[in-house]
Structure 1
Amino acid sequence: MKQFLVFVRKEFYHILRDKRSMMVLLGIPIVQIVLFGFAITTEVKNSRVAIFDPSKDVYTRQITERIRANAYFDVRFILDSPAQIDQLFKKGQTDMVMVFGDNFAGQINHTGEAAIQLITDATDPNQATTMNGYATNIIHDWQQERMQTLQVPIQIKPEIKMLYNPEMKAAYNFVPGVMGMIFMLICAMMTAIAIVREKENGTMEVLLASPMRPIFIILAKAVPYLTLSLVNFTSILLISVYLLDVPVAGSLGWLFVLSLLFITVALSLGLLISTIVDTQVAAMLASGMMLIMPVVLLSGMIYPVENMPLVLQWFSNIIPAKWYIISVKKLMIEGLTVGSVVKEMALLSLMAAALITISLKKFKKRLE
């Protein structure tokens, strides 16, 4: 029994002195429960709403105030012209626009009927359906109260208009997200494992003893995965267009440039991970927990970022996949010009430059 306890104590010492293993064993469960607890929600909160109200009467103000007071909506714009509606959607500044009909109160008082149009960004069909349902319920509740007050029948039937995805196909939302996840999986994880494998097997020293400079050795490791990612990019687009009926409404050339930029970021992340860990198992865990899980949960691929707590919304800004998915939706689904994704491409470029610089510098230090 004493010998058994000695061996148990030895194993505890081995685990406790490995700080990276301790982080994996104790840190990752905490991160997972926080992310799954707060990020995964089917509710739609803080949806950005703009209102165009040509009537500006007491009834439209009452409905507007109910929308403003509702936790599901965040009224950010009161529009002066219908032309502003298209501009807001193109800039990605609103999720829904509520348009009141002319002489709204007069129509209700004289005919008992009035018009409201709900224009929604349907690139995420689930979110669009939920937003329309919330807004319709608010309008219906106001209508019921007015009927009780006026003792006359009132009928307000909102007209629903779905932008960019009128058929409400889920593929419009999932294709950009799957592209981001696949590139991150192939480039980051496989690059990290490939480099760590050389270190783990002791062959990295042999490679460094060759006449080739270390940076070219690393690039040689990354090029095959870059090529495979471009092949996947082509196959995903072909399947999306010809099998899933998802159009490439914008520039195919700029979509390619954007994807190449994101692939570069993913390769840089893989290189950075390879400088931190020393085993293939650790590389797989780091890639899966640090990259794949945040891509799925915090990039907006499945769950809208606006629904999450403010801290997670801030954290999502450092996830490259978030900006890539936003850009792909704008170029591929909404058919906008490259000018609409300048911010996203600039952020991805900065991330790529920073990651490459840090990774190469750290990698050289480890090999000296």
Structure 2
Amino acid sequence: MKLAVSHSCAEFDSYRAARVKSLFNCESGARFDLEVDLTIDDPDWSVGVIVGPSGSGKTSLGRQLFGPRAMWAPRWPKGAPIVDAIAPGGDFDTVPAALSAVGLGSVPAWLRPYDVLSNGERFRADLARLIAERPARAVVDEFSSVVDRQIARVGAMAFAKSWRRGAGQAVLLSCHYDILDWVEPDWILDTASGKFERAKAGRRLRRRPPITFDVREADRRLWPAFEPHHYLRLPAMIAATYYVATVEDQLVAHVAVSTRPGLREARACRLVVMPEWQGAGIGLRFLAAVCERWRTGKNRHGIRVPTLFHTSHPGLCAALRRDPRWTQVSAMLVGENRARSVMQLRKAVERGRMSAIGSGFGGHFRAVQGFRYLGEAA
């Protein structure tokens, strides 16, 4: 595929224009020409990248690749949450899965309109919509240009990994070279040098660096840093052991574990991954590492017990079902019986354990699914 870009404008001869030409020995700024030859006519690739400095012709090449209509610029409705705006005629589970796949796992953000999201959230929402609606060919301009580099790298990795699970071809246009290893593209065109690279069949040009993290016990004083990113507002767990994952002393993930009556089982709760690390695959690895500690007796009680984990997140449920280390043990569509909860609260007040009854818990629609950790040997 040969592409030629040619732009021209009027030649100016004002005093300042003439002085600039004289000072910098520049004869003219009226023309821009670029020719490239890309061997990408076949369907045997999924993700390509055109990278180079601003003004080097990336956008013009992108428009010529698949035509102007392939430039990904979704229109977002005003006054509607992004969970309604993404693939409105599609299956519901597709939307949370796409949002989680690109690292936008903050449930409150799903309930906000696009125009009130942060730049990082908009970047990931655009990618989630691209994954969910999945056109046959798409070109994403200014890829990762408006977000900090941590979100850019993790977001690039999460998008490429999710995009490759389905059909279609996507070309990313970016002025940042630091995303190349994280995208692991099938081909790269560098507009600064004119160099074109394409991976051999079944291989990729780059390999993303491994993400290693440390797991350590903590206390509830670190929970406030994670609490704004958890989808529920709950009091601190009683008699729980708190764990955090860190990358170079940066807080990345959190989970708390407490024992169930009889010390025969443990229960993990409050799993949170910081937004800038969502989509990097750390959450499940961290949760499994903590549960493995409890399975092998590496806890403050010195007991070897399996660990239960409950979640309502469709994407996380699907990931746990795919993981052979976990088995599903329960599924509930509604909360507990509210009337029974009120009776229990009334008895607690009568015994002097509480000062007020409250309205009770339960009766709401919430599809909670439970999983038990079986271990690495599974």
TM-score by length of 2: 0.23
Higher relative contact order (CA 8 A, sep 6+): 1
Q: Which has the higher strand share?
A: 2
TM-score by length of 1: 0.23
